[in-house]
Amino acid sequence: MKQFEVPSFYRSSIISKVKAKRKLEDPRKKDFSPSELTIGDITFIIPRHFGFCYGVENAIEKSYKAIAENPHKRIYLLSQMIHNPDVNEDLQSHGLQFLQDTSGNQLIPFDSLTSDDIVIIPAFGTTLEIEELLRKSGVSIDTYNTTCPFVEKVWNRSEKLGELGHTLVIHGKHEHEETRATFSRSKKNAPSIVLRNIEETKILADAIEGNMSEEKFWSLFKNTTSEGFKFPEDLQKIGVVNQTTMLASDTQEITDFLRGVMIKKFGEHTLKDHMADTRDTLCYATNDNQSATYGLLETTADLAIVVGGYNSSNTSHLVELLEKKFTTFFINGSSEILSKNEIRFFDVHEQTNKLSTNFLPSKKQLKIIITSGASCPDVVVDKVIQTIVSCHHPDDNLTNLLEEIQE
């Protein structure tokens, strides 16, 4: 796989050793069991896969390339490059400005752009409508387009399904940049509807089976269907794709459930005429990270820490998996660890920041799971590890403890 030129300050001194060792032991990535790293009296349980993925490293490389190649031009990011505050803040420190926020709200008008300006499309991609607006302003959006190739794979799959007459069912969050970008393309080729979870899927199943009035259907799905969507005609032949960062198990559950609905309504012998036999469109990195997280669930630990941006979809799903078994804290970096007892963390269910005053258990030997999302630099995880070690060993020299790490 391609090696990207990512700024050295994103690289780590601790996690890099763990990953290098696992790469030598398991070059084909077949073993999803975690690694253990002991520092002082703390054993950190580290998953086989986590951190920067292909799409993220590609986006970062192109962004810093844009900075280096255009020292005297105005450079804009369409919106957050990736969902990580450290990466976005560093890019902003180089003078880059956001044209929109993550919800698509305008921060800088497109009509203020000129043909001399540089606009970087983020890894999530963007909608066809925004692409057209940018091109009309005279800006070139192709040179530094960092759209992840695995997102583009979903777009291509959607186009083919549309050509075959399928309605597109998109498993995703309709407000997320990636899903907005996918939806803008799928609706061009086919009727489209966005479903967030299995609960919404079961509601849609009632509509497919004829157990829902048209009025109720529109009251529930008006804001997540494409213009011109026909009820119930457009529910007779479907294909499922997804936002690449959703849980693979959730996408599979939705697909299997809808397949059962179609079999019940039309019979198994005609299933191919009513539902596309699509493979999961989850990107490899998200799939590997989630599989590695299931590996963590086979272990024992005192607590789990997930590091990443609070608006990162793939990271929040890691939290949801781990909290089923462990007390789990979702933090964006080491600054959230206030002391041995206090930690600020993000509650993914209530979407609020909270404070825990019982962070590290009062015991000498600790086992802590630590992982991060696909948009989090390993160096941020390093700093979290160092902070935890300092909290648990306040009277010891951190440098000496780190030097004791066995490579």
Rounded CA separation 101/80 (Å): 7
Q: Specify the pLDDT at position 407.
A: 45
Query: Token pair of 299, please?
Result: 């272990």
Interval 204-219 mean pLDDT: 97
Q: Specify the pLDDT at position 324.
A: 95
Q: Specify the pLDDT at position 4.
A: 74
Catalytic residues: 178
Burial of 172 (0-12, 13-18, 19+ CB in 10 A): buried
For residue 1, what pLDDT band results from cuts at 50, 70 and 90?
Answer: low
Spatial contact of 177 and 248, defined as CB atoms under 8 Å apart? no
Could you tell me whether strands 343-347 and 35-39 are parallel, antiparallel, or unpaired per DSSP bridges?
unpaired
Helix (H, G, I), strand (E, B) or coil at 221: helix
What topology does CATH give the domain 54-136?
A: Rossmann fold (3.40.50)
Angle of CA points 363, 37, 45, to nearest 5°: 70
CB atoms within 10 A of CB 274: 20
273-293: per-residue pLDDT in tens? 999 988 667 777 788 888 899
Percent of all residues in the chain with a pLDDT value above 70, rounded to a whole number: 97
Q: Specify the pLDDT at position 402.
A: 74
Q: Specify the pLDDT at position 285.
A: 77
Domain covering 149-273 in this structure, CATH number: 3.40.1010.20
Q: Specify the pLDDT at position 404.
A: 64
β-partners of residue 75 are 118
Tell if the pTM clears 0.95, that is, is over it.
no
Q: Is the pLDDT of residue 320 over 50?
A: yes
**CATH number 3.40.1010.20 given to 8-53+284-403:** yes
DSSP states of 236-273: SSEEEEE-TTS-HHHHHHHHHHHHHHHHHHH-GGGGGG
Interval 62-73 mean pLDDT: 93
**Better-scored residue on pLDDT, 287 or 123:** 123
Domain boundaries, the chain: 8-53+284-403, 54-136, 149-273
Same fold, 8-53+284-403 and 149-273: yes
Closest CA to 57 of 123, 104, 150: 123
CB atoms within 10 A of CB 291: 15
For residue 405, what pLDDT band results from cuts at 50, 70 and 90?
Answer: low
Average pLDDT value over all residues in the chain: 91
Rounded CA separation 261/205 (Å): 7
Closest CA to 59 of 156, 184, 140, 149: 149
Percent of all residues in the chain with a pLDDT value above 90, rounded to a whole number: 73
Helix (H) or strand (E) holding 344: strand 343-347
Could you tell me whether strands 303-307 and 366-372 are parallel, antiparallel, or unpaired per DSSP bridges?
parallel
